Every structure is written in C-alpha cells, then in structure tokens.
C-alpha cells in the first residue's frame, strides 16, 4: 500500500491540534496561573480585535476549504479507495466539530476558548489540505 508521507505528517499534525484543544481545556481547568494569564490576555485580545467577527469569518473560510477538498475527493473517487473515503468522513466530522466549537465555546465553557477555537480550526484545515492532495497512483 502506497501512502504519501505528507498524508502521515498532516494526519499527525491534525491529531495534535485536536488533542491540543482537549489539553487546553484541561489545563485551564486545573492550573490557576494559566487561568490568570488567560483572563489577562483574553480580555486584551477581545478589546483589541472584533473577535466574534473574525471567528465567524474564519469558520466560513475553513468550511469553504473543506467543501473544496470534499469536491476534489469526490472527483477522484476512483483513485481514492477506502482510505480516501474514511478521510472524507473524518473531514466532515472535524468540520462539524469546528462549527460546534465556534458556536458553543465561550468563557462559560472554558477560559481558554479563545485558544481552543483556532486550534480546532487548524486541525480541520490540516485535514482539508490532506484531502486536497491527490493519492499515489497505483498504476506505477
């Protein structure tokens, strides 16, 4: 079975991004110093940029890239095989999780919400890029 090295690298990075979301939440729950840092920097960030507008614009951009990746994968359906189908399903799940995170995560959910949303977006974007890369041709 031929697998591109870029697939493996992007899969590992995406898994690390989603694990980072979980660990940010847990670290914010257990470490008081991190919560103080989050409160100070979160307030500065929210005051300096229109955070709500930026997160919804990024949600639209990431969903657009995910849809393009799914369309490209469906065009190559003969070459993608079972691994391509599984990764399309994973991309759909990651995109739905990112939409959920963008809408549901706020300060009441976790003090680290302003770090968790970009990390979930990065994981989704990495999976979309992975699905945009064509598979290794088996005719070689």
The pTM of the full predicted model, rounded to 2 decimals, is 0.85
Per the listing, tokens 């470490």 go with 31
Q: Which of the residues in the chain have pLDDT under 50? A: 140
pLDDT computed for residue 140 by the predictor: 47
Residue 61 gets the label, from left (phi > 0), alpha (psi -120 to 50) or beta, of: alpha
Quick one: residue 81, left, alpha or beta (phi over 0 = left, psi -120 to 50 = alpha)? left
Are 91 and 125 spatial neighbours (Cβ–Cβ below 8 Å)? no
pLDDT, tens digit, for every residue of 55-68?
899 999 999 999 99
List, as one string, the DSSP characters of 97-129: HHHHHHHH-STTT-TTHHHHHHHHHHHHHHHHH
């Amino acid at each position: 079975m031929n697998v591109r090295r870029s697939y493996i690298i992007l899969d590992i990075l995406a898994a690390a991004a989603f694990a980072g979301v979980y660990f940010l939440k847990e670290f914010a729950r257990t470490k008081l110093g991190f919560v103080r840092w989050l409160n100070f920097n979160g307030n500065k960030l929210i005051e300096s940029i229109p955070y709500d507008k930026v997160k919804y614009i990024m949600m639209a951009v990431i969903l657009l890239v995910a849809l393009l990746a799914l369309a490209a994968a469906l065009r190559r359906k003969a070459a993608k095989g079972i691994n391509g189908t599984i990764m399309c399903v994973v991309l759909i799940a990651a995109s739905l999780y990112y939409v959920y995170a963008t809408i549901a995560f706020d300060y009441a959910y976790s003090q680290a919400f302003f770090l968790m949303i970009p990390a979930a977006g990065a994981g989704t974007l990495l999976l979309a890029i992975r699905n945009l890369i064509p598979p290794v041709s088996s005719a070689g």
